């Protein structure tokens, strides 16, 4: 491990806005029976200094630039960026500390463990920004899969929202299919968020031009890079409220994984270098 990473990891220990729980503690009773962290259900009290406001998560936040900018724009809400990479979270936590942002926190953990950190009705929105589409892996590893939606609904408020921004048409189409086969309300969708008129190939669930400005104006590092390359950015907003178990799309008419995998192109490997 390089000296630079060691220095960042040491500084991470000094940031009050960064929570770094022990994986061993979370897994002390096994993977199927995660041990709740003391912060569960108490984020406003323990991490936000009693700063009241809806809690919004960004899962796979990287360096936290999206989390930070949303927090700057919406001081009435509390934002939490979640990632497993400590060296990346260092940048977000350091910026939040330097700017004295009271409504920003970061959580270093695996997203599979997310249920150990948030209680019922504690979270209002989730952002999935340029998540790995897991093209060759099991669908269960995708952050918009039924197994993850089940984890999210245990702590999302009724009527809570999930936002997906991605350069991966494969992940967009998969997530759209998951929402459709489960009857989840799709509030907005487009296959080209910044394109002329932002017209989708489908009937719009809601006028894209009525979305909050932050949907377009707040951009991650990768998003800016893809836009510079002329690549389209997709956006999907849906509500995961659902009775009963979620199901995965199985019928090729719902989601033709082979088709969308072949149309994905090489940009994913480039984006994750």
Give start and end residues of each alpha helix (H) in 182-220: 214-217
The count of other CB atoms within 10 Å of the CB of residue 217 is: 9
Given phi > 0 = left and psi -120 to 50 = alpha, else beta, which region is 103?
alpha
* Host domain of residue 92: 3-271
- What is the band of 205 on the pLDDT scale with cuts at 50, 70, 90? low
Residues 32-46 pLDDT 10s: 999 999 999 999 999
Residues 114-171 pLDDT 10s: 999 999 999 999 999 999 999 989 999 999 999 999 999 999 999 999 999 999 999 9
CA dihedral (208, 214, 217, 220) positive or negative = negative
d(CA 118, CA 160): 14
Residues 210-225 pLDDT 10s: 788 899 999 998 899 8
What pLDDT, on the 0 to 100 scale, is given for residue 269? 46
> What whole-number percentage of the chain has pLDDT above 90?
79
Total domains in the chain come to 1
What pLDDT, on the 0 to 100 scale, is given for residue 51? 85
- What is the band of 208 on the pLDDT scale with cuts at 50, 70, 90? low
Mean pLDDT of 11-39: 96
d(CA 13, CA 99): 18
Question: In 3D, which of 100, 123, 18 has the Cα closest to residue 63?
Answer: 18
- What is the band of 245 on the pLDDT scale with cuts at 50, 70, 90? very high
What pLDDT, on the 0 to 100 scale, is given for residue 270? 45
Q: Match 């000094």 to its residue by tokens.
A: 14
Q: What is the CATH number of the domain that holds 30?
A: 3.40.50.150
Annotated catalytic sites, by residue?
A: 132
Q: Are 117 and 38 in contact (CB under 8 A)?
A: no
Residue 197 has pLDDT above 60, yes or no: no
Average pLDDT over the chain, rounded to an integer: 91
d(CA 135, CA 133): 5
According to DSSP, the β-strands at 55-59 and 78-83 are parallel
Question: In 3D, which of 94, 114, 122 has the Cα closest to residue 23?
Answer: 114
Question: In 3D, which of 83, 89, 67 has the Cα closest to residue 13?
Answer: 89
Compare 5 and 197 and report the one with higher pLDDT. 5
Mean pLDDT of 84-103: 97
Compare 201 and 131 and report the one with higher pLDDT. 131
């Amino acid at each position: 491990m390089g000296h630079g990473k060691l220095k960042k990891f040491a500084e991470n220990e000094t940031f009050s806005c960064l929570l770094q729980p022990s994986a061993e503690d979370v897994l002390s009773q096994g993977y199927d029976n995660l041990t709740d962290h003391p912060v569960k259900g108490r984020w406003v009290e323990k991490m936000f200094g009693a700063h009241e406001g809806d809690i919004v998560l960004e899962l796979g936040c990287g360096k936290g630039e999206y989390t930070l900018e949303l927090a700057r724009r919406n001081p009435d809400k509390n934002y939490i960026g979640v990632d497993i990479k400590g060296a990346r979270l260092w940048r977000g936590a350091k910026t939040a500390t330097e700017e004295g942002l009271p409504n920003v926190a970061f959580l270093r953990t695996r997203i599979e463990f997310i249920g150990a950190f948030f209680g019922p009705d504690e979270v209002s929105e989730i952002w999935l920004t340029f998540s790995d589409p897991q093209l060759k892996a099991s669908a269960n590893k995708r952050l918009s899969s039924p197994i993850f939606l089940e984890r999210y609904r245990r702590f999302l408020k009724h009527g809570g929202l999930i936002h997906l921004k991605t350069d991966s048409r494969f992940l967009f189409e998969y997530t759209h299919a998951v929402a459709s086969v489960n009857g989840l309300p799709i509030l907005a969708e487009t296959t080209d968020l910044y394109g002329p008129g932002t017209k989708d190939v489908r009937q719009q669930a809601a006028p894209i031009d009525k979305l909050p400005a932050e949907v377009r104006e707040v951009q991650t590092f990768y998003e800016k890079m893809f836009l510079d390359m002329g690549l389209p950015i997709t956006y999907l907003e849906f509500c995961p409220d659902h009775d009963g178990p979620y199901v995965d799309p199985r019928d090729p008419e719902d989601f033709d994984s082979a088709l969308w995998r072949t149309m994905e192109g090489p940009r994913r490997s480039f984006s994750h270098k």
